């Protein structure tokens, strides 16, 4: 006879109830919410995607969201295997979307092999998502230099200290590298040749606004013959 079978009926009922609660808590298939904070239609959206993005980005800033500048960057290596990570947007204008990183990192190597990427902003508090796709190229050295020298000293030294995406023995390696960089470069380190900016030139944007009953609004802007075509996608 099992241990459960020897329990008094009252305790057995309590145990069964706890088990059901634990099962319910771990059943993530029931996690869902109703999206009711906004709408996005052709009448009230911008005719060009950059203007629409600027409006939404300004609204994310005004809402004081946690890191509204955080975006997921997806790349694909020469082996066809995708990868993604979160980076910070540092500028955007008619030329494209800019971020900075280590050129020798996994994303840098993948962009060297396949210079196309996708970006995603998820402003969950506003129930909004922005997707951007396009070709990527490294920034000119002068632009990377200007941004690098605007960074805090610790961040500049960190660019020298971290062999990003490489296997290291322990955190002590980073600490030792940072100390070595500080001793070598002092208070005015130059930009490492392996560190700089990228710009994604968009050829496709999508703006997603959550709606009730999963009937979400999706507006896509795609570049066709030098003109942006706006179209609605089914959710």
Q: Is 214 a catalytic residue?
A: yes
Q: Kindly tell me the sign of the dihedral angle through the C-alpha atoms of 6, 10, 13, 17.
A: negative
For 6-49, how does the pLDDT look when each residue is reduced to its tens digit (9 = 90+)? 555 554 455 566 656 555 567 888 888 889 889 999 998 999 99
Q: What is the pLDDT of residues 86-141, one digit of tens each?
A: 999 999 999 999 999 999 999 999 999 999 999 999 999 999 999 999 999 999 99
CA 168/CA 76 separation, integer angstroms: 24
Give the Cα separation of 218 and 45 in Å (integer). 11
DSSP H/E element including 155: helix 153-161
Question: What average pLDDT does the structure give for the chain?
Answer: 92
- Proportion of the chain above pLDDT 70, given as a percent: 89
Catalytically annotated residue among 20, 95, 214, 232: 214
Range from 23-27, 82-86, 201-205 carrying the lowest mean pLDDT: 23-27
Identify the bridge partners of residue 98 per DSSP, sorted by sequence position: 91, 199
pTM attached to this predicted model: 0.86
| Alpha carbon distance 200, 198 (integer Å) | 7
Domains of the chain, CATH where assigned: 31-149+194-235 (2.30.110.10), 151-190 (no CATH)
């Amino acid at each position: 006879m099992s241990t459960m079978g020897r329990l008094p009926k009252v305790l057995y009922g309590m145990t069964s109830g706890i088990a059901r609660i634990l099962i319910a808590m771990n059943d993530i298939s029931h996690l869902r919410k109703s999206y009711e904070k906004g709408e996005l239609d052709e009448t009230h959206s911008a005719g060009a995607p950059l203007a629409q993005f600027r409006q939404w980005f300004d609204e994310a800033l005004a809402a004081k969201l946690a890191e509204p500048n955080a975006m997921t960057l997806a790349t694909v290596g020469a082996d066809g295997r995708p990868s993604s990570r979160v980076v910070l947007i540092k500028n955007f204008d008619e030329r494209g979307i800019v971020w900075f990183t280590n050129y020798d990192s996994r994303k840098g190597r993948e962009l060297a092999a396949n210079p196309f990427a996708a970006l995603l902003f998820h402003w969950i508090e506003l129930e909004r998502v922005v997707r951007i796709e396009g070709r990527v190229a490294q920034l000119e050295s002068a632009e990377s230099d200007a941004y690098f020298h605007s960074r805090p000293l610790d961040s500049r030294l960190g660019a020298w200290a971290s062999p990003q995406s490489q296997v290291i023995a322990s955190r002590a390696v980073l600490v030792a590298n940072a100390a070595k960089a500080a001793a070598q470069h002092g208070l005015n380190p130059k930009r490492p040749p392996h560190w700089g900016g990228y710009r994604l030139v968009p050829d496709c944007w999508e703006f997603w606004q959550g709606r009730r009953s999963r009937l979400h609004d999706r507006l896509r802007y795609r570049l066709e013959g030098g003109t942006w075509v706006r179209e609605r996608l089914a959710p």
